[in-house]
Amino acid sequence: MKIHGKLLSHYLSCCSPVDKEGYLYKKSERTGSYQKRWFVLKGNLLFYQECRSDGSPLGVIVLEGCSIELCESDELFAFSVGFGGHGCGTYRLAAKDQPSQESWIKALLSASHGFLSMLVSDLERRYHEVVSETCGSAFCQQAVDGKGFTPFLASQNYRPSAPTGGQSCHMSQLLQVPPTSRRNTSKISPKLWTKRTIDDRAVNEPAAAEVRDEASGGPPSLEDFCMLHELYGKEVKDLIALRQIMERKDEKDVKDEQATGSG
Amino acid sequence: MRFNERELVSLSRQPSERAAELGMRGPRKGDVVKKRLVKLVVNFLFYFRTDEEEPLGALLLEGCRVEREDEQAFSIAFLDEAERKYLFECDSKEQCVEWIESIVKASYEFMRKSLIFYRSEIQRMTGKDPLEQYGISDEARFQISSISSIQGT
């Protein structure tokens, strides 16, 4: 099977954060002796190389479905990374002291993709709960203001008045795409962005489509964005309808005045 | 690079987020579209010859760019090389959209950012750290600083 090692090396050396690194001893399967290696944990991948200054890794261990156990029988501060599948082996590692051993075990235990996926689902659910508790209308000014969205809730204080330059400016603000999403979509091919339609909302959500490792303040999930998009849309429609009502009312008032004034 | 091949093959056999037969074309000039069973498991995209047990290859889905190519096709570009793209042809527009969404959300780094976002928002709105109950509040990987450390790079 081809592992496409270049992609792995690239991930190791690119700008995403290193979760843990340091020297550990690794038991050689061939000789049975422990060899000192520089380990780098990034995401669910544990890379190792001969020493810290090496350019490229000797190897990588994909940390999915593994169990971590203490095993100090043959070496002090040792632990094993074991895989349960058919024909799968066990990596034996050893740290230099107890705090290092504990720290590595803890880091490796929380490294799997499955674990992170579970955490994200849980926190996403709680985020939605908190948002609806906080705001009632499931829309929180604080939550979105902090992320650079237009201060949409200013519209909740909308006061009907004759159309003015200021007001139309306000409406165009409401109809703008939130700046955060623009920042994210700059990473996407223009083709993808211009094909955006209401139906294609699911694929074109800029927050979710950002795949570059660059700071963004953390995009919400596609579901979050869909929900906010719908709320924006509904609020805008409501406001446009309200404005139309007020305009008609103003027109009627003016006509009434003219009728009574001329009499 | 050495890797735990047996474990990776074992991983490729596990229930996947998404699996389908797609047309797949490699990045090199002269590569043609071939029918492959494409399977998304954690942040790897495995591809098999149809009816074969062992995958032909595994692509790590980190730091890659996913783009819609046309109605029913998408591409994945790796290594910041926009011209080194793998092309995938789907059977329908819906399938194409679903694949793109799944691949984007499968990236570990995407999930990390989502987690940090939700964590900081929940903390801000409730005053409580939602990761405390898991005993992992101090884990470096879930700190907001791990995102800010890559700003400006």
Is A107's CB within 8 Å of B139's CB? Answer: yes
Task: Mutation target for B interface from A11, A49, A221: give the one with most B CBs within 10 A.
Answer: A11
| A-chain residues near B97 (CB < 8 A) | 200, 202-203
pLDDT of residue B137: 82
Is A43's CB within 8 Å of B7's CB? Answer: no
Angstroms from B18 CA to nearest CA on chain A = 15
- Higher pLDDT among residues B148 and A30, named by residue: A30
Give the pair of three-digit tokens for residue A259. Answer: 């009728």
| Secondary element (H or E) of residue B50 | none
Q: Which amino acid is at A17?
A: P
CB A101 within 8 A of CB A24: no
A197 secondary structure, DSSP code: -
| B-chain residues near A19 (CB < 8 A) | 139-141
Task: For residue B18, report the phi and psi dihedrals to the nearest 5 degrees.
Answer: -160, 135
A254 secondary structure, DSSP code: H
For the stretch B25-80, pLDDT in tens is: 999 888 999 999 999 999 999 999 998 999 999 999 999 999 999 999 999 998 87
pLDDT of residue A221: 59
- Rounded to two decimals, the pTM is 0.68
What value of ipTM does the predicted structure carry? 0.90
Among A73, A65, A109, A111, smallest CA distance to A94 is for: A73
The position carrying tokens 């694949």 is B99
Distance CA A220, CA B117 (A): 7
* pLDDT above 90 for B24: yes
Is A123's CB within 8 Å of B60's CB? Answer: no
Question: A39 has which bridge partners?
Answer: A22, A48
Q: How many CA atoms are closer than 13 Å to the CA of A142, on its beta-carbon side?
A: 12
Give, in order, the Cα–Cα distances in Å from B41 to each of A37, A121, B58, B76: 29, 17, 10, 16
pLDDT of residue A14: 86
Is B139's CB within 8 Å of A106's CB? Answer: yes
Among A119, A81, A59, smallest CA distance to B139 is for: A119
Buried-exposed string A117-126: b where 16+ CB fall within 10 A, e elsewhere: bebbebbbeb
Task: Mutation target for A interface from B8, B70, B134, B153: give the one with most A CBs within 10 A.
Answer: B8
B101 closest CB neighbour out of A64, A219, A222: A222
Is B62's CB within 8 Å of A88's CB? Answer: no
Distance CA B148, CA B153 (A): 10
Beta strands in A126-204 (DSSP E): none
| A-chain residues near B115 (CB < 8 A) | 116, 119-120, 123
* pLDDT above 60 for B129: yes
pLDDT of chain A, 263 residues: tens digit per residue? 998 888 998 899 888 889 999 999 999 988 989 999 999 999 999 999 999 988 789 999 999 989 999 887 777 899 999 987 666 789 999 999 999 999 999 999 999 999 999 999 999 999 999 999 877 654 554 444 444 333 333 333 433 333 333 333 333 333 333 334 333 433 444 444 333 333 344 333 443 333 333 334 455 556 566 666 666 666 666 666 667 667 676 777 777 777 776 54
Task: For residue B59, report the phi and psi dihedrals to the nearest 5 degrees.
Answer: -105, 125
CB A68 within 8 A of CB A105: yes
Domains annotated on chain B, with CATH? 5-106 (2.30.29.30), 108-138 (no CATH)
Among A25, A62, A23, smallest CA distance to A40 is for: A23
How many CB atoms sit inside 10 A of residue B48's CB? Answer: 19
| A-chain residues near B5 (CB < 8 A) | 1, 3
Is A215's CB within 8 Å of B62's CB? Answer: no
Question: A36 has which bridge partners?
Answer: A25
The position carrying tokens 């690079």 is B1
Q: Which amino acid is at B57?
A: G
Among A42, A92, A54, A52, smallest CA distance to A71 is for: A92
